[in-house]
Amino acid sequence: MEGDIVQMGAYIGAGLACMGMGGAAVGVGNVAGNFLSGALRNPSAAAGQTATLFIGIAFAEALGIFSFLVALLLMFAV
Amino acid sequence: MAAEEHGEGLTFHPMDQFIVQPLFGDGAVGVFTITNSTLWLAVTVIAAALLFVMGTRGRAIVPTRIQSIAELAYGFIHKMVEDVAGRDALKFFPYIFTLFIFIVFSNFLGLLPKAFTPTSHIAVTAILAMGVFLTVTFVGFYIHGMKFLGLFWVASAPLALRPVLALIEVISYFVRPVSHSIRLAGNMMAGHAVIKVFAAFAPLILISGIGIAVTPLSIIAITAMYGLEILVAFIQAYVFTILTCVYLKDALHPAH
Amino acid sequence: MAEHTAEHATDAGHAADAASSGGMPQLDFATFPNQILWLVVALVVLYLILSRVALPRIGSVLAERTGTITNDIAAAETFKQQAAEAEAAYHQALDDARAAAAKVINDAKADIQKDLDVAIAKADAEIAARTAESAARIDEIRASATEAVTTVAKDTTKELLNSFGVKADARSVTAAVNAQLKGGAA
């Protein structure tokens, strides 16, 4: 019984942790959207900034990956 | 446990594909055991060697297709190292190139059905990231000595803020290998697991009537995820490499 | 040895546990030494292959190609210059030829003009001579004709006077005829 409650808590926690992915999605969309609006204003400067774009996306996405990892840990490792 | 909940026959084992098991026999995984991970590491190395050694054997001035792929990869990473980390980072070009080629080959070979993806394992990516972290730290101290610690001391900030910023900088510096490794492993793991989850829904048509709707959807979803995974396989290798270059730039030119 | 196998057995059991219970294989620490060892082996092999064989080769091929392209561009530049020079020489030759041709034409024109002038002058002189001669002859003819007319008139007048029976004075007849002719001429 007690194990079941722990498991339930773990699953609820995993579901809650998945909300972090939404934050990462917002972050990545923000980075890409701002890049696009900047690139449309000054297309000649856009090509040189793609590396920065990917770095920004990577950083924003890493946090979503962390929350995904927390969810996986709760699901499978706790 | 997921399987038990869907007792009717759907089996969810999204993580089974990541199990490291011996290739020959059923024994335990010792240090020297040849496992599926070992096999795919070897396939990665052999594929890269085929492309870069056999493909460039002709040394043609007008390149063949395979040779031009090899030259494209060379030029891509060479330019990245030069642009992001600076000209003096070109000493590390073979190292960074090895990292990129290893990750990109491992990611793409892992997308083959039934394949094992070494880069989806935290043990592998942690070693890659620790290698980068230690290299960068060592290079920073070797070139700049104790001045390398100035990386953490933001001279342009107000004096009162500097200790706080220094603390944040130190933490973020030591979090680097963690995020560096987990980003790669997590991306590869997540994509493969999601494909497996969709794949587990596919045989529903054999079990219940609702499968008429679910099975085509899941097959479409697998296809879409596979396309996304192809993108992710490249982007994660690119991101890993470019972050290595960024860290290397910090080590070579620590001034903010 | 027995202990060793027992340890392996527990490891295997742990792995089997992880697999069957759906735990994360990524966190199965028993496999870490194995993975790390083979990863390091793979990375070192790949690094040696790439840094010793592949990268110098590709680098030299790219450098060679850059060199070839630069050389080709330089050669193309030389050829272009040569072509430009040849074109200039061609134009020069064309201009020279044109000038020579113009000179020849002018010379010929001058020669012809000179000949023509001489011929025209000669023809003019001849024409003038002929004209003078003709005029002389016409005058002569006119003079002789006048004389003939005078004589005929005198004779006719003398004959007329004779036939009328008048003794005509030769001198007065002549004067009258001359006066008459002059009046007629006037």
To the nearest whole Å, the CA of B58 is away from the closest chain A CA by 33
Using a CB–CB cutoff of 8 Å, tell me whether A72 touches chain B: yes
Q: What is the pLDDT of residues B129-179, one digit of tens each?
A: 999 999 999 999 999 888 888 888 878 888 888 888 899 889 889 988 988
| CB contact set of B137 (below 8 Å; sequence gap of 6+) | B251
pLDDT, position C47? 95
> Contact at 8 Å (CB) between B166 and B176?
no
The residues, ordered by sequence, that sit 6+ positions from C37 with a Cβ below 8 Å of its Cβ are: B31, B32
Q: What are the pLDDT digits (tens) for C148-166?
A: 888 888 888 888 888 887 7
Burial of C21 (0-12, 13-18, 19+ CB in 10 A): exposed
Q: How many CB pairs under 8 A join B and C?
A: 152
Instruction: With a cut of 80, say whether residue C85 has pLDDT above it.
Output: yes
Q: How far apart are the first and last CA of chain B?
A: 51
Residues of A in Cβ contact (< 8 Å) with B182: 62, 65-66, 69
Whether domain A2-77 has CATH 1.10.760.10: the reply is no
| Residues from chain A contacting residue C24 (CB–CB below 8 Å) | 72-73, 76-77
Cα B60 to Cα C51: distance, rounded to the nearest angstrom: 20
Contact between B64 and B57 (Cβ < 8 Å): no
Q: What is the pLDDT of residues A27-68, one digit of tens each?
A: 999 999 999 999 999 988 888 888 888 888 888 887 888 888
Task: Assign A50 to helix, strand or coil.
Answer: helix
pLDDT of residue B2: 40
The values of phi and psi at residue B64, to 5°, are -75, 175
Q: How many CB atoms lie within 10 A of CB C82?
A: 10
What ipTM was reported for this prediction?
A: 0.87
Structure tokens at B203: 């045989």
Cα–Cα dist C43/C14, whole Å: 29
**pLDDT band at C184, cuts 50/70/90?**
low
* Helix (H/G/I), strand (E/B), else coil: B22: strand
Based on C-alpha coordinates, what's the Rg of chain A?
A: 18
Least confident of A12-21, A56-65, C71-80, C164-173: C164-173
Structural domain for B35, as ranges: 2-252
Instruction: Give the pair of three-digit tokens for residue B229.
Output: 């995974």
Domain ranges of chain C: 30-185
Neighbors of chain A with 3 or more C-beta pairs under 8 Å: B, C
Name the nearest CA neighbour of C58 among B45, B145, B189, B48: B48
How many other CB atoms sit within 10 Å of the CB of residue A47? Answer: 9
CB contact under 8 Å between B61 and C30, yes or no, is no
Res. B9: pLDDT tops 70 = no
> Does position C5 have pLDDT exceeding 50, yes or no?
no
Q: Indicate the domain borders of chain A.
A: 2-77
Total of domains in chain B: 1
Name the pLDDT band for C17 (thresholds 50, 70, 90).
very low
